[in-house]
Structure 1
Amino acid sequence: MTSPATAGAAFEEIAALGPFFAVRTHPPGTEPSGPWEPMSRPLLEARVSAVRDWLAAAGGQPPGAIEPRVAASVAHLGLAARLVSPALAAAVLHGLVLAPRLADLRWQPVLGGPVPLSLPHDAFGTGSGSADPPARLADRLGRCLLDGPLRELADAMGPFSVSPHILRGNTASAVNGAATMLKAARPELTGRTVAITSLLLDGPALRDASTTAPDGAFRRRSCCLIYRAAPGGRGALCGDCVLSR
């Protein structure tokens, strides 16, 4: 496993990329000081209820006006982006792969922005450093991240009847969003970012969840449903939505 000093230095550089990338660390087997909570199923279900209330208030509607599956999809997309972003940056910048279980994560389930996240400093698996080829890193990210905590996160949305197709699209959108932010922050790493991201999107976990338009733009093959949270279900569509034309 990566040493605490190496992990700390990596997380510090990653945090400089922006709030979706920033994470804290804590010693494994301990709890970080402060108002941190485990990312447990009950708290994830409570998160969906909180997002439902937040969406309703934003549109001047009662909470019952928001379909539970809409709130679940929106909550899932935000958390997927939060988990994917530092993991992709760690792979691109340092050739390291985040390999935590969902139970290893600690978070502060605040609304209105990227949730604060803390990981045990041994959450990085072993790696060969930034010289690791994109194919190897994408394969390990697929197994350790997409088939790990991201699958657990999607499974936690089961009680809300949100389609697995939508959840896979959310994850693909989170991967593309993280790559877009990473390329903007570190343009000299664009080639490596694109290589790893493309392999992730074409890998077993996300294959057919998205497509590339003739102009090179990313387009998911599903909708996150957020447009349905607006009064009358007439909200704006996201730029990468399958319904956008």
Structure 2
Amino acid sequence: MVLLLVVDLDPDLMALRPLGGFFVLRTLGSPAEASPPALPTLAQVYENRPPDVYGNTMTFRVRKVAGALHAPEPRIAASIAHLGLAARLWSVALGCAVLYGHIPDLSPHRLHWDPDASAPDDLWLDTVQPLPGDAATITEVVLHGHLEPLAARLHAEYRLATGLLWGNASSALAGAARQLGHRGTGARELAAELLAHPLLAGTLDSTTLRRRSCCLYYRLPGGGVCGDCCFTRAPRSSPRGASG
């Protein structure tokens, strides 16, 4: 059981802002923010029913990432796009849990996403409705509410292995916890509870937190390997089986 400080969520989630871009979550209608143009909700993205402006929103995002990184294959860009969105979702949830003791309701129909933004992903919440900041709630909201349908879409459309996708999710979670580590043990203990979930368990080495799969970043021009990659150096070839 993780004991966290309990402070009321403020309507602009201002406590997240000093943590940096991956943790910031802006709210629609906030007097502190200029509201963006109409953006699809993540529910629309997962269900492939976006507004006309982007057509297939996920395809639009993957193409944008591919162009920015000169990705030689769409599936590489899809993995990097998935990793970035997973990192944003975990960071907001863990940041709120540690700083407030609650999380806002981050349900997919409440979160709006700008697929044309640069990294980190631009997310907007319709309104702040508090939920408990415990592992069970975060699992339900982030893991089941977002990462399961997101993984299903990317697996179906880009042939990304499920092991790779859950490795991305676990890596993003561990990274968010590391960023919050200076604020005490709460983030690490909460992340450990979350990583014990059957969808994530075993995706990272329990001692080193090194991945057992690869996000494919090494296959970008000049990519190299990430700090937690299953490879210690970039393979010379591009073996699909080894990529997770």
Normalization by structure 2: what TM-score? 0.78
Distance 2:28 2:37 in 1: 13
> What is residue 127 of structure 2 aligned with on the other side?
121
Aligned: 1:228 with 2:228: no
Kept in 2, the 8 Å contact 1:99–1:145? The answer is no
Structure 1 residue 236, shift from structure 2 partner: 0.6
User: Deviations for 1:121-175, whole angstroms, at most 9, x for unmatched residues?
Assistant: 24532x3xxxx7xxxx112211221111122222221201111111101110110
SS at 2:184's partner residue?
helix
TM superposition score normalised by structure 1: 0.77
Q: Which amino acid aligns with 1:226?
A: Y
* Deviation for aligned residue 1:177: 0.9
Q: Letter of the aligned partner of 2:224 in structure 1? A: A
Aligned to 2:242: none
Distance 1:209 1:219, change over 3 A: same
* Structure 1: distance between partners of 2:188 and 2:36: 37
Change (3 A) 1:235 1:34: closer
Whole-Å Cα distance in 1 between the matches of residues 178 and 232 of structure 2? Answer: 19
Task: Report how far residue 78 of structure 1 moved.
Answer: 0.7
**How far apart in 1 are the matches of 2:165 and 2:188?**
22
1:211 paired to 2:213? no
Tell me the residue number matched to 2:95: 89
Alpha-carbon distance change, 153 to 73 in structure 1, aligned in 2, over 3 angstroms? same
- Return the letter of the residue paired with 1:147: H
Q: CA RMSD in A?
A: 2.4
* 2:238 aligned partner: none
Alignment partner of 1:100 is 2:106 = yes
CA distance in 1 between counterparts of 2:146 and 2:94 reads 14
Q: Deviations over 1:69-99 (max 9, x none)?
A: 1111011001111111011111122221344
1:212, distance to aligned residue in structure 2 (A) = 3.0
Partner of 2:51: none
Give the drift of 1:108: 2.3
Cross-structure match for 1:150: 147
**Matched residue, 1:55:** 69
In structure 2, the partner of 1:240 is: 228
Q: Structure 2, unaligned stretches of length 5 or more?
A: 1-6, 49-55, 234-244
Cα distance, 1:111 vs. partner? 4.9
More helix per residue: 1
Superposed displacement of residue 116, structure 1: 2.0
Aligned to 1:59: none
The alignment covers a number of residue pairs equal to 211
What is the Cα deviation at residue 9 of structure 1? Answer: 5.3
- Greater alpha carbon shift after TM alignment, 39-48 vs 12-21: 39-48
Native 8 Å contact 1:10 1:94 kept in 2? no
Mapped to 1, the partners of 2:151 and 2:130 lie a distance apart of 22
Aligned partners of 2:16 and 2:23 also within 8 Å: yes
